[in-house]
């Protein structure tokens, strides 16, 4: 699988359409693979195909609820599209994920500090 990820990443640098086509082809063979869905989402986000990106990220977290990068990228996507309530939800999922994974206390503090700051910024943008 890592070879497919590497190929998709290589295409994504210069030809995002080819990267997305490759990822979608892989998904036919490896249905529900959270990594492929995540890569598809990031490529779509880069191309500003936000609805498609969101769909891929959501499928990825259904497939693997502990796929943290999807929540980060959903937060970025929702911030870009000015859907601040959804962005806050995504950052809250990052915080919840840290708790679910039972990381060491100092690691959790580092991982939740940034999302908490982002939530505060978003709330400020919303006038809360």
Q: Could you report the per-residue pLDDT of 76-96, keeping only the tens digit for each?
A: 999 999 999 999 999 999 988
What is the CATH number assigned to the segment(s) 1-64? 1.25.40.10
Taking the domains of the chain in order of start, what are their residue ranges? 1-64, 67-128
The residue behind tokens 């994974």 is 101
Buried b (16+ CB within 10 A) or exposed e, 81-104: bebbebbbebbebbbebbeeeeee
pTM of the predicted model as reported, rounded to 2 decimal places: 0.87
Q: What is the pLDDT of residue 12?
A: 92
- Say how far apart CA 100 and CA 83 lie, in whole Å: 26
């Amino acid at each position: 699988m890592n070879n497919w990820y590497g190929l998709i990443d290589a295409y994504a640098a210069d030809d995002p359409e080819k990267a997305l086509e490759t990822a979608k082809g892989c998904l036919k063979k490896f249905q529900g693979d959270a990594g492929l869905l995540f890569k598809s989402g990031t490529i779509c986000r880069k191309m500003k195909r936000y609805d498609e990106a969101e769909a891929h990220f959501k499928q990825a977290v259904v497939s693997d609820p502990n796929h943290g990068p999807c929540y980060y990228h959903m937060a970025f996507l929702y911030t870009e599209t000015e859907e601040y309530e959804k962005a806050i939800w995504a950052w809250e999922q990052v915080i919840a994920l840290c708790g679910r994974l039972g990381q060491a206390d100092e690691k959790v503090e580092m991982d939740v500090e940034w999302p908490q700051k982002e939530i505060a910024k978003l709330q400020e943008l919303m006038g809360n």
